[in-house]
Chains A and B, each alone.
Chain A
Amino acid sequence: MTPSRRETLQWMMAAAALPLARWSPPAMAAGQNTTAPFDVVDWPEVLPPPPARGYGRDPDLMTPKVPWPLTLSNKQRATVDLLGDLILPADERSPGAGTLGVGAFVDEWISAPYPIQRADRALLIGGLIWLDAQSRALHGATFDAIAPSQRDGLLDALVVAAPVVRMAKPVAFMDTLRHLFVLGFYSLPEGKADMGFIGDQPTPGDYPGPSEEALAHLAQVLDHLGLASS
């Protein structure tokens, strides 16, 4: 499926109040940087997933269930939660994504028997193994046991725009992690509240339309852009 087709479907889904769009990360130009941030360890082989069944074409919508078995070990799930609290950390508006259990969502996602999720599974499990191996090579301990500043250094290396070839997979791993954390966190009530989302409330009668504050802001925008309101 090309991105454009996928996005057409996304748009159809956007009829929902909170569109759960498929992530399409900015393009990466691998190989443009000539030096790696550190001596990069090998990307691991990941075993193919065991066969599993999806929920089928006529699942019970009133009592949703996840029918497939989960994948991650307790230690792996704890590492994902740790990453969740680093990548979407607690602040004055909301808790960290790991504290809200984003590791469980990631486990559900990468264990699903569908093509997008199977592709993400290979990156995620490979990435978790790689992260611990890289952490050991640099700092002598797995990612969960190294110092906060050492973790920061590793994560910083995973958000560069133009990684060296050996870093392309680790950076793609980080892109996928960020995508899943954003999806997993902001689809929860706490995440919606963080965004200030207002909706999902039956409002009988005519749709009230934008608030006075929103209209005043629009007037400013139109003024900045030199547009007449209509």
Chain B
Amino acid sequence: MTSGAIDAAEGVADVVIVGSGAAGGMAAYSLTKAGLRCLLLEAGRDYDPQAEVNMTAPESDAPLRGAATPDKPFGYFDATVGGGWQVDGEPYTMREGTDFRWYRSRMLGGRTNHWGRHVPRWGPYDFKPFSRDGLGVDWPIGYDDIAPFYDRVERMIGVNGGRIELENHPDSPPGCLMPPPKPRIPEMLLKAACESLGIPVRPAHTAVLTRDMPDDVAPRAACFNATPCTRGCPIGAMFQTTTSFLPMAKATGRLTVVTDAMVARVVMASANRAAGVEYVDRKTGARHQVKSRVVVLAAGTCETTRLLLNSGGSERPGGLANYSGQLGRNLTDSTGASFRAHIPELADRPRYNEDGIGGQHMYIPFWLYQQQKRGELDFPRGYHFELGGRFGIPPAAALPRVWGKGLKQAVRSASGASIAMVLRGEMIPNKDTYCEIDPGVKDRFGIPVLRFAFRWSQHEINQVAHGRRTAHAVFKRMNGTILDPELPPEKLITAGGEIIHELGTARMGADARSSVVDSYGQTWDVDNLVLMDGAIFASGAHKNPTLTILALALRASEQLAARFKSGAFA
């Protein structure tokens, strides 16, 4: 626990915020700057990137050379604390036939300490999908409503990137983006090959600073073009709330942070008014209640949903704020599939430093909106490719089955000669994909757990099949040897949840009948209960969600502050 403006046990906070990731961090920053006294509850332990990130150690210092294990699914040095695909003592279950993965951490800053950093803007079509193809639902807001918040979020978190100049890929106004890094050789080759096939390749938008970002409290330095971002970034070049929003919010003197506080339920004052929350101290097991004028849930899409489902009591067996019956429904993840080839033309290519800003510098935005509109494609929603290909240990499939000097020569020759095209696509909500409370299973705190049901539809299967045809056509244009195993698309596609883009289980809408919250995340049923994370998305798009989570959280926080000012919670 850190010092702040409120004694958690005694006082009444203006706002209690559940979760310290992207949405909770933004809420804490925006609301404290607006003068509100906030109590932030984080289920995980305190975490300080400056003290705990082993930024420069070689992988050979780690057990198993840093390889992924069930304890650390993204490698030993990865910045995931206390979790992964499983959290000890906090299970989740699945309906028969479901394969769903739920990635959680238990640390201050949540999943911003390890994330993909790819932050494309969503475009006009992404907010009106039903109007375009008759599937899913439209958002109650459009691109023009969110654009000013994108502008501000890009400047607040620090995003580098170039112009895209393509349909449904809005460009940022001048002054929003930092300059992008130069492309690497494999990215330049991919660009030439793709463009000869009519496929665009553009500078990615990435939440990594390429210019210093001074601040009195939390200064952040430009990327120094080394060390893996997924370990976390003590110099602050990669955006994570633990090096930005959280210290800045604390510096206002109006934020109290309590870690190891696992929120069990929203406590109600009356039928349509929340009184605060009840949490379990993860270290002692003791239960505490805290009072607040407003409750903000930003625990992550599924955890927020679980909280509401567990907060109904006997009066609302379907869960709190679930008049619409939509709570837990409309769960989506991004589709995912990876394609790889060995490019003989790149064998033995000249060495140079290819680290750059960590991840991709270039990517392939979706480019077939017109064909889709004309009905020429057998899938309704888009995808993009993230691009990989760097010097390093070549994949086994690119090495001949030899031993001796020939194996050493083969490794040298193949290093840097493999290229990856990694698909991320939009999933459309379907009735067979949702989360609910498991009637028979509780976690170690006695809190009922989530049970998942998940199914890809033919829309997603066809999309991934199209992605494979595209990737293989690009590889062939480079005279590449395809390294992918022959699998049908339904086996090629990732498991639900595996891309860690869970969204939609408390969706926003125009009315209380068809949605859980309004466009400001305010629940229709409970006046002072506001949701700010990915749960409120009305659709998933193929574009990574974090920039939009941040923009919606900023918009919701400012609306909430305005309501405080107007006396709504006096």
Seen from chain A, the residues whose Cβ lies within 8 Å of a Cβ on chain B are 2-5, 7-27, 54-59, 61-62, 64-66, 86-89, 91, 93-94, 105, 108-109, 112, 114-117, 155, 158-161, 174-175, 178-179, 182-184, 186-189, 194-211, 213-215, 217-218, 221-222, 224-225, 227-230
Q: Is B30 an interface residue when CB atoms closer than 8 A count as contact? A: no
A211 cross-chain contacts in B, Cβ below 8 A? 350, 352
* Cα–Cα distance between A195 and B478 once the two chains are bound (Å): 23
In the complex the two chains form, is A61's CB within 8 Å of B54's CB?
yes
B residues less than 8 Å from A108 (CB atoms): 63-64
Q: Could you tell me if A8 and B72 are in contact, using CB atoms closer than 8 angstroms? A: no
| CB interface residues, B 30-80, toward A, < 8 Å | 45, 52-54, 56-77, 80
Are B487 and A88 in contact (CB-based, < 8 A)? no
Give the residue of B185, B420, B478, B484 whose beta carbon is less than 8 angstroms from that of A214: B185
Report yes or no: A184 in contact with B65, Cβ–Cβ below 8 A. yes
7 shortest interchain CB distances as A-B pairs: A209-B182, A207-B181, A16-B228, A23-B396, A202-B224, A211-B352, A227-B192
New A-B contacts (13) at CB < 8 Å, excluding given A17-B392, A64-B62: A4-B484, A8-B338, A17-B226, A19-B392, A62-B52, A196-B412, A197-B415, A203-B224, A203-B225, A217-B349, A225-B193, A229-B188, A230-B192
Set of chain B residues within 8 Å of A117, measured between Cβ atoms: 64, 69
**Chain B minimum-CB-distance residue to A161:** B401
Asked if A87 meets B404 with Cβ closer than 8 Å, knowing A207-B356, A228-B196, the reply is yes
Set of chain A residues within 8 Å of B491, measured between Cβ atoms: 2, 4
**Contacting pair B76 A114 (CB below 8 A):** no
> Which residues of the other chain, B, contact A55 by a CB distance below 8 angstroms?
63, 69, 71-72, 76
Minimal beta-carbon separation of A183 from chain B (angstroms): 6
- Minimum CB distance partner of B52 in chain A: A61
Given the complex of chains A and B, what is the CA–CA distance between A85 and B69 in angstroms? Answer: 28
Asked if B393 CB lies within 8 Å of chain A CBs, one says yes
Chain B residues contacting A22 (CB-CB under 8 Å) are: 67-68
What separation, in Å, do the CA atoms of A174 and B402 have in the docked complex?
10
> Given A16-B75, A225-B479, are A2 and B487 neighbors across the interface (CB < 8 Å)?
yes
Number of A-B contacts (CB under 8 A): 305
Provide 23 A-B residue pairs closer than 8 Å at the C-beta atoms, listed in order of the A residue: A4-B491, A8-B498, A11-B338, A17-B228, A18-B393, A20-B66, A57-B72, A88-B408, A109-B64, A161-B401, A175-B401, A178-B403, A188-B60, A194-B408, A197-B391, A210-B188, A211-B352, A214-B185, A218-B185, A218-B189, A221-B346, A225-B345, A230-B188
B226: which A residues are within 8 A, CB to CB?
Answer: 17, 199-203
Shortest C-beta distance, A178 to chain B (Å), equals 7
**Within the complex, which residue of B69, B88, B227, B337 is in contact with A114, where a contact is CB–CB below 8 Å?**
B69
| B397 contacts chain A at the CB level, 8 A cutoff | yes
- Interface centre among A17, A62, A174, A227, by most chain B C-beta atoms within 10 angstroms, is A17
- B227 to chain A minimum Cβ distance, whole angstroms, is 8
User: Given A16-B230, A24-B396, A189-B58 in contact, is the A66-B63 Cβ separation under 8 Å?
Assistant: yes
Structural contact, A230 and B359, CB atoms closer than 8 A: no
Q: Does B351 belong to the interface (CB within 8 Å)? A: yes
Task: Please name all residues of chain A whose beta carbon is closer than 8 Å to the beta carbon of B222 when the two chains form the complex.
Answer: 204-205
Check if A200 sits within 8 Å of B355, measured CB to CB: yes
Would you give the shortest CB distance from A49 to chain B, in whole angstroms? 15
Q: Could you say which residues of chain B place their CB within 8 Å of the CB of A217?
A: 185, 349-350
* Chain B residues, Cβ within 8 Å of A4: 337-338, 484-485, 487, 491-494
Within 8 A of A (CB), among B180-200: 181-185, 188-189, 191-193, 195-196
Q: For the complex, what is the distance from the CA of A228 to the CA of B184, rounded to whole Å? A: 17
Q: Which residue of chain B has the shortest Cβ distance to A67 in the bound complex?
A: B63
A19 near B71: Cβ-Cβ < 8 Å: no
Contact B184 A8 (CB under 8 A): no
A224 in complex: contacting residue of B72, B75, B345, B484, CB < 8 Å: B345
Whether B185 and A54, one on each chain, are in contact in the complex, defined by CB atoms closer than 8 angstroms, is no
Contact B189 A65 (CB under 8 A): no
Interface flag for B254 (CB, 8 Å): no
B477 contacts the other chain (CB 8 A): yes
Instruction: Please give the distance in Å from A108's CB to the nearest CB on chain B.
Output: 7
List chain B residues, Cβ under 8 A from A64.
Answer: 54, 57, 61-63, 76
Shortest distance from the beta carbon of B367 to any chain A beta carbon, whole Å: 15
Q: Which residues of A contact B355 (CB under 8 A)?
A: 17, 199-201, 203
Expressed in whole angstroms, the Cα–Cα distance for A20 and B359 within the complex equals: 15
